[in-house]
């Protein structure tokens, strides 16, 4: 297993994590990234419209069936919780599908971000990472699928379904961290099993990073560029927490 010692204080600092993501948005304007952004942008737009238009169409009827009659007096409170939960489910679905389809472009984007930071660590090993990224994405999907099914079941269990949206948001934040941190990991030749272990070294920071990405993905229009910004931000984040420790 690949082992890396990190600066835990920095890795778990919400302000530092936020600054890395903002740096990702700022760097999107750099001309070096443009050729890696057009196709993912088109994919994101098409998937977003498909997922959320169909999701909203079925949401109302589903909620009416899921909320038991004896809780009808709490509709004013329960409806917002379920709407938020299903919205997060839609965001999660959108992000996973978009990452599978755009993985070849995102791997090149992460590589370019690494190069622009003057970090050539194992760059030679990732010149053909397009297929590696897609395969890694499918492995992540299989891992996350083990948790998705129990969480979906929570939505249909009366009483417990009130906790489902909260559980889903926490899970989705963890999943988004794994998704977007994967690209800088793969540049260094760190594959999915080792990625999980290294991300666990900064659990709080991982949830903060994933939560901020989820928040960005939930904002219309902005969500089209969030994946690319998150990948650039994740590359900067990983480099910074390593560099601090290696001094």
Read off the pLDDT of residues 38-73 as tens digits, 9 standing for 90 and up. Answer: 888 888 888 777 766 666 666 666 666 666 666 666
78: in domain: yes
Domain membership of residue 2 (yes or no) is no
Q: For residue 3, is it within any domain?
A: no
Closest CA relative to residue 20, chosen from 209, 219, 226, 221 = 209
**Alpha carbon distance 51, 54 (integer Å):** 6
Give the pLDDT mean for 153-161: 75
**Cα gap 218→16, rounded to integer Å:** 22
Q: Per the domain annotation, does 172 fall within a domain?
A: yes
What CA–CA distance (Å, rounded) separates 151 from 174? 14
Sign of CA dihedral 214, 94, 155, 59: positive
Report how many domains make up the chain. 1
CB 104 within 8 A of CB 134: yes
Longest dimension (CA), the chain: 62
Domain of residue 25, residue span: 8-66+73-246
pLDDT at residue 246, rounded to an integer: 42
- Determine the length of the chain: 247
- The answer to the question of residue 222 being in a domain is yes
**What would the pLDDT profile of 114-124 be if each residue is shown by its tens digit?**
888 765 555 54
pLDDT of residue 2: 45
Cα–Cα dist 225/223, whole Å: 5
The answer to the question of residue 101 being in a domain is yes
Is residue 88 in a domain? yes
What's the pLDDT tens digit per position in 171-223?
Answer: 889 999 999 999 888 888 788 888 888 898 899 999 999 999 988 988 878 88
Name the DSSP letter for residue 157. S
Q: Are 225 and 106 in contact (CB under 8 A)?
A: no
């Amino acid at each position: 297993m690949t082992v890396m010692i990190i600066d835990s204080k920095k890795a778990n600092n919400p302000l530092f994590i936020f600054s890395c993501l903002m740096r990702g948005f700022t760097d999107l304007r750099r001309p070096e990234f443009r050729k890696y952004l057009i196709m993912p942008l088109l994919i994101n737009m098409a998937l977003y419209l498909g997922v959320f238009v169909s999701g909203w169409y079925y949401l109302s009827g589903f909620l009416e069936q899921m909320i038991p009659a004896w809780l009808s007096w709490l509709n004013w409170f329960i409806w917002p919780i379920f709407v938020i939960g299903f919205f997060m489910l839609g965001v999660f679905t959108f992000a996973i599908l978009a990452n599978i389809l755009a993985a070849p472009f995102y791997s090149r984007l992460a590589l370019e971000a690494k190069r622009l930071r003057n970090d050539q660590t194992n760059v030679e090993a990732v010149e053909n990472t397009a297929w590696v990224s897609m395969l890694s994405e499918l492995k992540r999907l299989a891992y996350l699928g083990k948790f998705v099914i129990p969480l979906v079941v929570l939505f249909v269990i009366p009483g417990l379904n009130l906790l489902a949206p909260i559980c889903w948001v926490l899970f989705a934040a963890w999943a988004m961290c794994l998704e977007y941190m994967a690209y800088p990991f793969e540049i260094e030749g760190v594959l999915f099993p080792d990625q999980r272990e290294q991300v666990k070294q900064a659990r709080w920071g991982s949830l903060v990073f994933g939560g901020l990405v989820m928040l960005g993905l939930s904002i219309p229009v902005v969500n089209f560029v969030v994946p690319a910004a998150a990948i650039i931000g994740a590359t900067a984040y990983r480099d910074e927490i390593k560099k601090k420790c290696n001094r």
